[in-house]
Amino acid sequence: MAKEKSPSDVSKMIKDRDVKLVDFKFTDLPGTWQHFTTTLTEYNEDIFTDGIGFDGSSIRGWKTINASDMLVIPDPATAWIDIFNAEPTLSLICTIVDPITREPYDRDPRGLAEKAEAYLKSTGIADTAFFGPEAEFFIFDDVRFSYTSNSSSHLVDSVEGHWNSARDEFPNLSYKIRAKEGYFPVSPADTLQDIRNEMCVCMPLPLSAKSGFGIKVTVLLCFFATLRMMYL
């Protein structure tokens, strides 16, 4: 098992990879990613214990404007170089704490998970909890919606959709997946094999690699729930 990174390891990453910016990520109560970015002038190894202040009043369901001061405490073990940014950027996942009491914020999902893990250990039932996301998502070619004072509409589309069997595609070769027959299709009906393969190759690579995420992938499936859905 790889050794977890320490603050000094993170500082070395910044130096070795010529990092220019640090991105601090956390999730709101419904589980949506939030973040803010600073230059290296804000970075030092003390932030892993002291944290960095931010305004929490704009996060859904969190603080009011008169009590909006909060702290992010970065976890050095989550440090990785964000390969999707034009400038070299270090990404850190954070826990939210109260700046006065230093207690984990009770509406921060990461903090709640840490509390649950601590409680689990205190019971003696187990000493480790595993949290695993199910990376399930759709790939669309077109997404549109409209909500006005007198109408509403929404539309999603995919070149693989069976309703596109007669569409001009210059040429349309009729490789469309029929309704409710999208489990485990093969090429040419399955048009997304290459992108799934690339995901599976990149995700397990170590975070030190240029395109690595350090995520173990065990099963790669594709379903067609009328539109293409990926399951990793």
Measure the CA–CA gap between 190 and 160, rounded to whole angstroms.
Answer: 8
pLDDT band per the 50, 70, 90 thresholds, residue 1:
very low
Indicate whether 119 and 11 sit together in one domain.
yes
User: Final residue of a domain: which of 123, 154, 187?
Assistant: 123
Question: What would the mean pLDDT of 116-144 be, rounded to a whole number?
Answer: 88
- pLDDT of residue 155 exceeding 80: yes
Indicate whether 161 and 100 sit together in one domain.
no
User: Which pLDDT belongs to residue 197?
Assistant: 83
User: Final residue of a domain: which of 68, 91, 123?
Assistant: 123
User: Final residue of a domain: which of 74, 100, 123?
Assistant: 123
Q: What tens digit of pLDDT does each residue of 179-216 get?
A: 888 777 888 888 888 888 888 888 787 766 666 677 77
Indicate whether 144 and 198 sit together in one domain.
yes
Measure the CA–CA gap between 57 and 65, rounded to whole angstroms.
Answer: 5
User: Which pLDDT belongs to residue 139?
Assistant: 87
Q: Which two tokens stand for residue 231?
A: 């399951």
Strand partners, 96: 72
Domain hosting 104: range is 7-123
Q: What tens digit of pLDDT does each residue of 22-78 get?
A: 999 999 998 899 999 999 999 999 999 999 999 999 898 898 888 889 999 999 999
Task: Dump strand ranges (E) for the chain.
Answer: 21-27, 33-39, 52-55, 69-74, 80-81, 89-97, 136-138, 142-147, 152-157, 221-225, 227-231
Measure the CA–CA gap between 118 and 187, rounded to whole angstroms.
Answer: 48
* Number of CB atoms found within 10 A of residue 5's CB: 17
Q: Is 19 domain-assigned?
A: yes
pTM for the model stands at 0.76
**DSSP assignment letter at 104:** B
Share of residues in the chain with pLDDT > 70 (%) = 90
Indicate whether 79 and 158 sit together in one domain.
no
How many domains in the chain?
Answer: 2
User: Which pLDDT belongs to residue 88?
Assistant: 93
Indicate whether 144 and 104 sit together in one domain.
no
Are 121 and 127 within 8 A, CB to CB? yes
Measure the CA–CA gap between 51 and 92, rounded to whole angstroms.
Answer: 12
* Number of CB atoms found within 10 A of residue 158's CB: 22
Question: What would the mean pLDDT of 212-222 be, rounded to a whole number?
Answer: 68
The pLDDT mean for the chain works out to: 86
Indicate whether 184 and 110 sit together in one domain.
no
Measure the CA–CA gap between 182 and 227, rounded to whole angstroms.
Answer: 9
Are 82 and 211 within 8 A, CB to CB? no
pLDDT band per the 50, 70, 90 thresholds, residue 91:
very high
